[in-house]
Structure 1
Amino acid sequence: MTTGERGIDHKMTGKLKIKQLAELTGLSQSTVSRVLAGKTNVSQLAKEKVFTHARAMGILRDIPASRLLMNTLLICAPAAAFTPHGDHYYYEVIQGIYSEVSRYDIHIKKCALEINDADVSLFMKAMAEADIDGIVIIGIDDDVLYRLASQTAKPIVTINAKDKHMRTDCVSPDHYAIGYSAANYLFGKGHFPVLLFTDLRRDTMMQRLDGFKRACQAHNVIFDEARHLLVTKGYGEQEARTHIEKYLEQRDRGELPSAILCGGGAIAQAVIKAVQSHGLKVPEDISVMSFVYAHDNKLAGGGELTAVNLPCRELGTEAVHILQSRLTREVSHVFNLLLQGTITPGETVSDVNWKRKALYQRHP
C-alpha cells in the first residue's frame, strides 16, 4: 500500500467513525465533526452525547494531544488568588493554567470562594453554566463543596486541596515529602535541635509537619512539640515577627535551636530580622531555611535564602492535562498527582557537622 493509499484509508476510517457517531447520537455529521474538532458553536448536550459514545468506541484516544476538547474552563479559588497583590502563590498557579491553555481557543471563567465556608450557591450557579467543560478548584477545604462537585458529570481537578472522601482528582505538592526532605537536609548539615515555625491551619501544613516528624524519627530525634514546633497564624511577616521575638526573649542563648525551618518566605524574613536584632548571626549562630516558590527565595538585604522550592505553575499545567485526560479516556479510578519540590542551597544554612564531630573526638 502506498503512502497516498494509507492516507485515503485513514481519511475514510475517520468519515466512517463520524457517520457512526452521528447515527448513535442522533446528531448531524457536521455537529459531530465540530465537537471532535473542539469548536465552540455546539451545545453542551451535543458534546456530552458525542463524548459518551466516542469514549466507548475508543475514538477520543486518537485525538491529537495538541488539541484540547474544552471551550470554557471554570477556576474556583480564594479571591486573593486572582490578583498579583493577594495570594501570590495561588496567583502563580493560575498563571500556569493560563499559560497552558493560551495555545488554544479556550475561555476562562472565575469564581471566588472562601477557603472553608464557601458560598455553595455561587459555586453551583457557576458550575451549572452550559458552556463550562471543566472545573479547577484551587486551595478550597470545604467538604460540602466537594460533595456537590463530585455529583456533576463535568471533569473536576483540585489543586493543593484534597477531597477527604476521594471523589475528585487532585494535583498538589507532595507536602509530606517536602517537609521530610527539608528537615532531613538540616539534620544532614548537623543541626540539632531544629525548630519548625509555621502556620498549621491547613491540611497541607499538617502534612509538612508529619514529614518533619518522620525526619526526626529517621535521625533518632524524639519530637517534642515544646522544643521543635512554633505556630503562627497566617504567612504575614509582622505576625511572625511578633511570635519569634517572644520566643527568643523567653529563652537563654543555650536553649535556642541550631536551625529554624520556616513555613514561608515572609516568615523566614521575619525570623532573620528578629535573630539579627537579638545580636545573633545567620547562619553562624542560627541557620534559617524555608518553604518558598522559586521566584521568592531572595533575601531582603540581598543574597539567597536556603529553601525548598515548591511546585507552582507546574500545578496549573498538570491540572489542564488531567482534565483533558478525563475528557478523552474512560477512567474509573480517582488519583492524586504529587509533585516533588527542589532544594536550593542558599546563604542562610551552614554545615555544622564539624561541631558534632568535635563532641565525639577520642584522645589517646
Structure 2
Amino acid sequence: MTGKLKIKEIAGLTGLSPSTVSRVLAGKNNVSPQAKEKVFYHARYMGILRDIPASRLLMNSLLVCAPAAAFTPNGDRYYYEVIQGIISEISHYDIHVKKCSLDINEADTTLFMKHVNQDDVDGVIIIGIDDESLYRLAAESDKPVVTINARDKKMRLDCVSPDHSSIGYSAAKHLLEKGHRQVLLFTDLRRETMIQRLEGFKRACQDHHLVFDESENLLVTKGYGEPEARANFKKYLQQRSKQQLPSAILCGGGAIARAVLGELKNHQLQVPEDISVMSCAYSHEMDEIKSLGLTAAFQPCRELGSEAVCILQSRLTRNISSRFNLLLQGSIELGNSVADVNWRRRELYQTHSIP
C-alpha cells in the first residue's frame, strides 16, 4: 500500500481530512491534540510510525521541568547546558519549549500537573528532580516522559544519565593504577548521582584489594560552591600532619578542585610532587580544567539533552512497554596533576609542578 493510500485509509478511519492526517504525520503543529491522538492510534496499528524518519519530531510543545537555577547561565551551569542540548536538538523543527521550575526534593506537584495537562504538551523532560511523588504523577500522565540525571527507582519512566558509577570507578582506577594507595574522595553527597560515584570509587578500591575506610578515604562538603569546599578542606589539612595526608585526592567537581588547589598552595604543598589531584568535571568546564593542568574524568552534558529528545521521539513512534535506562559514559583527559608513583619508585618519573 502506498503512502497516499495509507493517509486516505487513516482519514477514513478517523473522520479527518487527508490534509490533516498528512500534517500530523509530517510533525506539523497546526493540528489539534485530539486529531493527533486519533492519527497516532491508527498509524501505530498499521505500522506506519515505524517508517517515519527518526529526524522527524512529532511534537507541538515540549515541557522541560528543572530546578529554577537550570534556566539561567548564571545559575546551575551544568543543567543549563543540558537544556541547551535539548534546544539544539529541536532547533530545526517548529516545536515550542515550555519551562516549569521545580524544587529538587519537594516539587510543586500542582504546578507540574497544571503544565503537563495542557493540551498542546506532547512530551516532558524532567531534569535533576529527585521527588518520587512527581515520578508517579508523570508516569500516570499518559504522555511520554524522560528524566535526565535522575532515576525512577520503580522503573516507570525512561531515563538518560551519565554513568556516574562508571565515572567514579574509572577515575579512582586511574589513580590506583598510577600506584596511589591512600586516595581521598572529596565530594558532595546531597544527590543520588554523587552517591553512585562514591559506589564506583568503593568498587575500584575493592578491585585493587584495598579496604575503603570512610574516615580516611572520604571527605564530604555540604554545598556545591568553592567557598564551602575551601573551608572544609582547610579544616581537614589543619587536623593532619604532612605524613597523614593522602597520596592523591579525587575531587567531586571543578569547584572542589579549585578549592583543593588553592588550599594546598597556601599550605606550601606542591601538585603533584607532594599530593596528586584529579577532578570529576563537566564537559563545559573542559577549557578551565585544562588551563589548571588537571587530570579529570569528564561526564557528558549537552548529549544528555539530545538523547532525551530522541527517546521521546521513540515513544511517539513505537508503542513498546519496556523503559529505557540509558547511561552515557564519560572520558578521562590527562593533565599534569597526577604523579605516577610506580615510575617514581623506580626514579624514572619527572614531575611537572602546577603553579
- Aligned in 2, Cα 1:300/1:355: closer, same or farther, shift over 3 Å? closer
1:160 to 135, 149, 157: 149
User: What's 2:115 paired with?
Assistant: 126
1:104 to 67, 82, 93: 93
| Cα contact 2:78–2:284 (8 A) shared by 1 | no
1:225 to 201, 205, 214: 214
Give the secondary structure class of the aligned counterpart of 1:111: strand
Q: Tell me, in whole angstroms, the C-alpha distance in 2 between the residues paired with 1:301 and 1:209.
A: 24
1:55 to 30, 33, 44: 44
Deviations 1:143-197 (A, max 9, x none): 0000000011211110000011110000000001001000000001111200000
Residue 243 of structure 1 pairs with residue 267 of structure 2: no
Residue 74 of structure 1 pairs with residue 69 of structure 2: no
Identity %: 69
Amino acid at match of 1:338: L
State the TM-score, normalizing by the size of structure 2: 0.95
Amino acid at match of 1:334: R
2:325 to 330, 336, 349: 336
Give the secondary structure class of the aligned counterpart of 1:158: strand
1:213 to 202, 207, 210: 202
User: What's 1:282 paired with?
Assistant: 271
Cα RMSD of the aligned pairs, angstroms, is 1.4
Q: CA offset at residue 50 of structure 1?
A: 0.9
Give the secondary structure class of the aligned counterpart of 1:171: strand
* Equivalent residues, number: 347
State the TM-score, normalizing by the size of structure 1: 0.93
User: What's 1:354 paired with?
Assistant: 343
User: What's 2:352 paired with?
Assistant: none
| Cα contact 1:298–1:304 (8 A) shared by 2 | no
Q: CA offset at residue 357 of structure 1?
A: 5.8
Deviations 1:177-230 (A, max 9, x none): 001000000001111200000011111011000000000001110000001000
Amino acid at match of 1:46: A
Higher mean C-alpha displacement, 199-208 vs 56-65:
56-65
User: What's 1:258 paired with?
Assistant: 247
Q: CA offset at residue 355 of structure 1?
A: 4.3
| Cα contact 1:76–1:138 (8 A) shared by 2 | yes
Q: CA offset at residue 41 of structure 1?
A: 1.4
Amino acid at match of 1:241: R
Q: Which runs of 5 or more residues in structure 2 are unaligned?
A: 348-355
Q: CA offset at residue 142 of structure 1?
A: 0.4
Give the secondary structure class of the aligned counterpart of 1:161: coil
Amino acid at match of 1:219: H
Q: Tell me, in whole angstroms, the C-alpha distance in 2 between the residues paired with 1:298 and 1:304.
A: 10
| Cα contact 1:171–1:336 (8 A) shared by 2 | yes
